[in-house]
Structure 1
């Protein structure tokens, strides 16, 4: 079933009584889109891409059609890097009984970062090498950021091109995309310097732990060191994320 037909199928089912609150919608979407968040769903609503019902108390109630529309939007963003304006035009066409234009890749598909079951990066994601190389123009297009935002990210050391080639890798793409999403909440690159400082400290701690392994003389020493780095890195990210979550809950 195509995305367009799936959305229409959702429209047919919307006539039923099934309605979901925003937390339930999040649970329905996360198996396919681990990075989706409640603020992201609200942002897509603000952009007019989904229009859930409101109870007299003001709570959102999403129909099956609404959930299918969100799946369509998230898939078009993830798999085809379409801007929200274009996705909105597709949805309008679907609403009017038309077929949206065929989707053809305009850029190479970016590899998916390996994630653990809880949505956090796994040890595998720290050892993965995809050799992705993006030009500045491609990075701007795929991450949907402005030249000014990229310049600021570079000024604060958050994004850097590869030495010698001037190309950008997967990490640069993820950072640029995340910075754009944070900008939607008013966080600018200058606010993100604290993340870079904290990351540099964690890197220094990991390197300190594995230094004795790297000095080993046997052939497998380097391999063991790399495994240790990836495992500690994944654990440190989990600890950091959990501490932030616990801190926010305690407020």
Structure 2
């Protein structure tokens, strides 16, 4: 699925290629906030390369739609920045077997299918958790109160199962939520120069920048925790 030049791809254009509006119609049921501006932004970042007709219109193949589904799923369910997603897809394009960014044992998303969504009962079973632990995680604001969950939520619930074995319950982790909210406030302040512009392209750029900042904050947080644990051994 390596990127091809627009000219080369246009030469093999088929009647079943989709317009940007048709792509939106296919994907919006799964990704409600998707817009034409977001699709153009992903093209600008070279994550997807639709064919350009002689008139300049974008045409998307079935493979393009599958690729977009993976990109959007990784953003929504794993909160990954586009830079990380782009490297991940480049490894897939090269025939390598990359580990899903974010670590853990979350399954690699299929380029040929959509990211799986789980019911509450399925989420608990997939994580090896009791329904009560899932309910406690929701009560502690560690998971959203919703009817379906993605792979990222399964990974969180698996982590809670392991922590429970050491005596750490979801209620003990409420401060993590407040810490996350403070970090979101920090990110919002950093994004203000971009987000105040208000146009769709700026909003897409602000969302992507937020993910990149979040990744860097996670690097610092992990380093601080490792350093604190190291002092326990001193």
TM-score of the superposed pair, with normalisation by structure 1: 0.45
Q: Which has the larger Rg?
A: 1
Per chain length, whose mean CA-contact separation is higher, i.e. which structure has more relative contact order (CA < 8 Å, sep 6+)? 2
TM-score scaled by length of structure 2: 0.49
